Amino acid sequence: MTSTRPAAAAQAEAGAPAIVAARERLWHAIGEGDEYAAVEVVFAALDDGVPAESALLDLIAPVQHRVGVEWAANRLSVAAEHAASAINDRVIGTLAHHPRARAEPARGRVTVACVDGEWHALPARLLAEVLRLRGWRVDFLGAQVPSPHLVAHLHKTAPDVVALSSSIATRLPMAHAAITACQAAGTPVLVGGAAFGPDGRYARALGADAWAPDARAAADRLAQGLRRAAGLAAHQPVDDLPHLADQEYTMVSRTRSELVKEVLTVLAGRFPGMRSYTDAQRRHTAEDIAHVVEFLATALYVDDAELFTGFIAWTAEILAVRHVPAVSLTHSLHILGGRLADFPRATAMLTQALSALPEAGEDA
Amino acid sequence: MPDGNVPFERRVVRPASREPMHVETSEYVYDGSRTTRPAPGTTWADAPCPALRADAAGAVVDVNAAAGALLPTARPRAPLADAVPAWLADAHRRFVTATRPTDGERRFGMVRGELAGRSFEARPTPAAAGEVVWWLVDDTELRLAEKALRTEQERTAFLAEASSTLLTSLNVDRCMEVTAELAARHLADAAVVVAPAARRHYPVAYAGPGGVVRRRSVHADPAAVPGLSEALQGFPPVPSRWIDPSLLPEWAVPEGLSQPVGSVVVTPLPGHGVPAGAVVLLRRDDHRAFDESEEVFARLFAARAGAALSAARLYAEQASITDTLMRDLLPPSLHQVNGVEFAGGYRASGAAERAGGDFYDVHPGEGPGEESLVVLGDVCGKGLDAAVLTGKIRNTVQALLPMAGDHQRVLDLLNGALVNSHHTRFATMVLASVRRSAGRVRLRLTSAGHPAPLIVRADGGVEEADTRGSLVGVLPRVTSRTVTADLAAGETCLLFTDGITEARGGPLGDELFGDGRLKSALAECAGLPAEAVVERIQMLASEWVGDRRHDDMAVVAITAPRTTHLSAVDGHTRGRFTA
């Protein structure tokens, strides 16, 4: 297996009719919950000459991506998403036994893990398999790895590099702790996943040694070698993010439950209709507000208003798909703005997010 | 590091002239410029600063007493080239050929060089008729002090870098590599770190001139390197000058040294009370040999490296002991057994812990028609103490497997064993005997003081198994009621500990996760593979608690596979899963 191929060739493969057709068959098999059929689709592609890396990244990965898209569009239940991921995971595990997927360790050792609180292990699993195919000795630690476990693993195995995955932006503070911990243990960190922003801006903000937009780019970047940063033992999170000194993140994240309660109370006063909410509706509303507060805290952590505005715009779209009026969202932001008036960064972020939403209408 | 500078000798040159200072002899009066002020009270002849007057043609005009003592051949009319070192003669030539030197050039005209083994600054001042007076200022002591300061600053910076780099890793191999690399970069041309032998093999890390580090295991007698076996035992280092580099065995010299080894230092790496190894520093024979201060400094570095190596070794030993002791306490990974899917998930209460007071096991049946026994339980308490008791219970249950056909009997015997042990703790648990039969999965379920298992049906309905019993390890007798249940394809029976239902958190921060939420979460899990059910429940409970404190949480899903041919892609062989 060649380690690097021109991007054009990879793209040609990704768009090859054989792979497009296989993707459709895999999507169908996973929709049926038929693991056996799913494995057959992937094995047939390998037997037809599709390289193992391409089977992982051009066949399985796009199908998994589609699962997420379908869920966001409310065409797939959360549970079905879990089922699809579980089947894809098993397929990847079985793929490793195919003769075309054999690889001799010829490079260094790498640890692949998801940050604590990150449950979407599949992107990291795909990267782990790609790296194994490219000759790395890979330790895959799986989903939600607490930093103490990760560091203990580093001391035990002394890998050349750690690859950390995080898909949810609200895990960025956790990711930062994990990055800092790995570097303090003398190991450079490559990060990837949607949490770090489409251009990897949060990877830079959090002091990661490298960022990659996808598994292929990550494998290419690791092939170039990542130097161990010296003398980061005394490194503190606030060294990367001096704005944390204003304590806005700490205050918002520490009082998040109180903030959610206050917003709910005020909302209930403004919308008498909320009293007739079912338990499930009440729960959803509380969860939505908790998310808003969590994203606000995260935006304060990385000091990026875009992160919060982007989340609010996305939430408005999801609510629209689920036929929930966005008016409660607008009110929630106003109420939060009132509570956090003493925090200039939070206030600016709430103002910017509000300007991205349509004005609160009368249809509450 | 070897450098081109030859160190100044510390030799005191006493000024030769001790003439009284007030004697004034007109021929010696400095009259460099007629436009300047009259000569001050002291005289040229007996100025403590050596001074020399030379003409534009490059011949000596005059020297004062101090200069005369310093430059015995500098007689009037002697060519400068014969009278003074070349550096001063050159500077004079440059100075007199410069047209109308500006102030800046005059300052530039200050040159520095050696005279009689000491360092001098020579400062020119123009005199009459194109003559130049050179004032020689002895700056040997200053230069030595500057050099010593620079060396100390470099060494301090290096020690600080070494400490922080060495402190990063608790991995022994990594520490050896870092030690070798730092030593080769700052102290020598190459370095070899030798760790104490493990079964007569010495782990060795090499660092060559290019900073390339290699490790290998050497089966050799350390006595072949002079001073090495002593250093490995922690005895004081052998002075470098006593070591003959030509006697070094081949394994003690890293690859990539382009010249033969010229000098060697062997220094012990002192650990925390026990020697952590030794470092061998090597210099090429065309580079300067190690001097005494470098050997002393190497020992300072070795003290830091030794402490780091020793800490790493202690950590590795402790971690290995912990791993061995914990192996039986960790939750096993579960697979499909005899056509039934099993999946388990565990989250200990402390983020740094891997085991706690919850436990589960799947003991596979002998063959496809035989029952597998699933045990999931909760020992009162958290942390390592509780984990140790779970280990005892798990072992006891394993021994009682032949009686697994009768859950009540298993619980009786286990209860007897716990009541009679010195532990004051008690436990609750669920036993599930699982067998595949005619396309369905047949369960026998018994709870002993534990939350009853939940069953999610294919249509999303959730039932609570009607089993009840007393907890184990408190009373002389336990009572229990066993129930049977069948799972159709896609249905799951979930065993869980109260860490899930009593998880406190949620959007408002202080609500229980509760039975209701668990049941409605499970209702969404109809038709899912066992791993997906476990992942879903674990994820919801974890997100519910967020970063708040929580108890140990354990779940096991027993699922009847949706597709009959699933067993055909089961990549795992069955076996004992309790590790």
The pLDDT assigned to B445 comes to 97
Least confident of A14-23, A245-254, B515-524, B541-550: A14-23
Mean pLDDT of B23-31: 37
Residue A132 CA: distances (Å) to CA of A104, A108, A213, A215, B101: 8, 10, 19, 12, 72
Closest CB to B508 among A79, A119, A286: A286
Q: How do beta strands B275-284 and B341-347 pair?
A: unpaired
Give the Cα separation of B451 and B448 in Å (integer): 9
- On the 0-12 / 13-18 / 19+ scale of CB atoms within 10 A, A344 is exposed
**Domain edge (last residue) among A82, A102, A122:** A102
Q: How do beta strands B504-505 and B492-496 pair?
A: unpaired
Q: Judge contact between A265 and A326, C-beta under 8 A.
A: no
The pLDDT assigned to A335 comes to 94
Contacts of B494 in chain A (CB under 8 A): none
The pLDDT assigned to A81 comes to 85
Domain annotation covers residue A347 = yes
Give the Cα separation of B281 and B263 in Å (integer): 8
Higher local confidence (pLDDT), B408 or A270: B408
Concatenate the DSSP letters of all residues of B405-473 into one string.
T-HHHHHHHHHHHHHTSS----EEEEEEEEEEETTEEEEEEEEESSPPPEEE-TTS-EEE----B--BS
Q: Which of B518, B546, B491, B559 is nearest to B347 (CA)?
A: B546
Tokens of B449: 């003081």
Residues A29 and A152 in one domain: no
Residues A248 and A215 in one domain: no
Mean pLDDT of B120-148: 89
Residues A92 and A124 in one domain: no
Residue of B164, B215, B494, B517 best to disrupt the A interface, most CBs of A under 10 A? B164
- Assess A269–B contact: CB distance below 8 Å, yes or no: no
Domain annotation covers residue A363 = no
pLDDT digit string, tens, across residues A84-107? 888 899 899 888 888 888 888 888
Concatenate the DSSP letters of all residues of A36-100 into one string.
HHHHHHHHHHHHTT--HHHIIIIIIHHHHHHHHHHHHTTSS-HHHHHHHHHHHHHHHHHHTTSGG
Contacts of A290 in chain B (CB under 8 A): 506-507
Which chain B residue's Cα is nearest to A38?
B569
Q: In the predicted model, is pLDDT for residue B433 greater than 90?
A: yes
How many angstroms away from the CA of A76 is the closest CA of chain B? 12
Give the Cα separation of A232 and A181 in Å (integer): 10
- Assess B549–A contact: CB distance below 8 Å, yes or no: no
Give the Cα separation of B278 and B227 in Å (integer): 10
Higher local confidence (pLDDT), A327 or B433: B433
Give the Cα separation of B481 and B485 in Å (integer): 13
The parent domain of residue A89 ranges over: 1-102
Residues A164 and A42 in one domain: no
Higher local confidence (pLDDT), B152 or B234: B152
Q: How do beta strands A189-192 and A210-211 pair?
A: parallel
Residue A193, by phi and psi: left (phi above 0), alpha (psi -120 to 50) or beta? left
- Assess A317–B contact: CB distance below 8 Å, yes or no: no
Using 50, 70 and 90 to split pLDDT, how confident is the model at B380?
confident
Q: Do B529 and A93 touch (CB under 8 A)?
A: no
Residues A89 and A135 in one domain: no
Closest CB to B569 among A94, A155, A256: A94
The pLDDT assigned to A151 comes to 93
**Cβ neighbours of residue A279 closer than 8 Å, sequence gap 6 or more:** none
Q: Which of B99, B54, B101 is nearest to B81 (CA)?
A: B54
The pLDDT assigned to B351 comes to 75
Q: Judge contact between B519 and B477, C-beta under 8 A.
A: no
Q: Which of B322, B336, B296, B317 is nearest to B568 (CA)?
A: B336
Q: In the predicted model, is pLDDT for residue B559 greater than 90?
A: yes
Contacts of B170 in chain A (CB under 8 A): 155, 185
Residues A226 and A142 in one domain: yes
Q: In the predicted model, is pLDDT for residue B115 greater than 80?
A: yes
How much is the mean pLDDT over chain B?
A: 84
Q: In the predicted model, is pLDDT for residue B519 greater than 80?
A: yes
Concatenate the DSSP letters of all residues of A231-277 into one string.
T-TT--HHHH-GGGGG-HHHHHHHTHHHHHHHHHHHHHHH-GGGGG-
- Assess A89–B contact: CB distance below 8 Å, yes or no: yes
Residue of B347, B528, B533 best to disrupt the A interface, most CBs of A under 10 A? B528
Which chain A residue's Cα is nearest to B351?
A146
Closest CB to A79 among B161, B312, B524: B524
How many angstroms away from the CA of B279 is the closest CA of chain A? 21
**Cβ neighbours of residue A103 closer than 8 Å, sequence gap 6 or more:** A1, A132, A133, A134, A135
H or E segment and range at residue B194: strand B190-194
Residues A194 and A114 in one domain: yes
Q: In the predicted model, is pLDDT for residue B107 greater than 90?
A: no
Residues A199 and A223 in one domain: yes
Residue of A32, A34, A35 best to disrupt the B interface, most CBs of B under 10 A? A35
Contacts of A116 in chain B (CB under 8 A): 351
Give the Cα separation of A274 and A46 in Å (integer): 55
Residues in chain B: 579
Domain annotation covers residue A67 = yes
Give Cα A225 to chain centroid, integer Å. Answer: 24
Residues A222 and A119 in one domain: yes
Give the Cα separation of B227 and B238 in Å (integer): 6
Give the Cα separation of A59 and A44 in Å (integer): 12
Concatenate the DSSP letters of all residues of A325-350 into one string.
-THHHHHHHHHHHHHTTT-HHHHHHH
Closest CB to B169 among A82, A146, A158: A158
- Residue A293: give its domain's CATH number: 1.10.490.20
Contacts of B509 in chain A (CB under 8 A): 256-258, 260-261
Q: In the predicted model, is pLDDT for residue A191 greater than 80?
A: yes
H or E segment and range at residue B137: strand B132-138
Q: Which of B120, B60, B171 is nearest to A109 (CA)?
A: B171
Concatenate the DSSP letters of all residues of B211-223 into one string.
--EEEEEE-S-GG
Neighbours of B157 (CB within 10 A): 11
Q: Judge contact between A227 and B165, C-beta under 8 A.
A: no
Give Cα A23 to chain centroid, integer Å. Answer: 23
Q: Do A86 and B532 touch (CB under 8 A)?
A: yes
- Assess B174–A contact: CB distance below 8 Å, yes or no: yes
Residues A107 and A234 in one domain: yes
Domain annotation covers residue A323 = yes
Domain annotation covers residue A18 = yes
Concatenate the DSSP letters of all residues of B286-328 into one string.
TSPPP-HHHHHHHHHHHHHHHHHHHHHHHHHHHHHHHHHHHTT
Closest CB to B507 among A85, A156, A260: A260
Domain annotation covers residue A341 = yes
Contacts of A261 in chain B (CB under 8 A): 508-509
User: What's the predicted TM-score (pTM) here?
Assistant: 0.80
Residues A135 and A233 in one domain: yes
Closest CB to B535 among A86, A186, A264: A86
Domain annotation covers residue A360 = no
Closest CB to B571 among A34, A83, A97: A97
Count of the separate structural domains present in chain A:
3
pLDDT digit string, tens, across residues B311-356? 999 999 999 998 888 888 888 989 889 999 999 999 988 877 888 8
Neighbours of A27 (CB within 10 A): 19
Q: In the predicted model, is pLDDT for residue B1 greater than 60?
A: no
Residues A59 and A109 in one domain: no
Q: Quick one: DSSP state of residue A107?
A: S
Higher local confidence (pLDDT), B77 or B431: B431
- Residue A122: give its domain's CATH number: 3.40.50.280
Contacts of A94 in chain B (CB under 8 A): 569, 571
**Domain edge (last residue) among A201, A216, A240:** A240
- On the 0-12 / 13-18 / 19+ scale of CB atoms within 10 A, B459 is exposed
pLDDT digit string, tens, across residues A135-152? 999 999 999 899 999 999
**Domain edge (last residue) among A215, A240, A265:** A240
Domain annotation covers residue A43 = yes
Closest CB to A156 among B178, B319, B510: B319
- Assess A88–B contact: CB distance below 8 Å, yes or no: no
- The domains located in chain B, with CATH, are 26-138 (3.30.450.20), 144-324 (3.30.450.40), 341-567 (3.60.40.10)
Using 50, 70 and 90 to split pLDDT, how confident is the model at A230?
low
pLDDT digit string, tens, across residues B203-217? 999 998 877 888 999
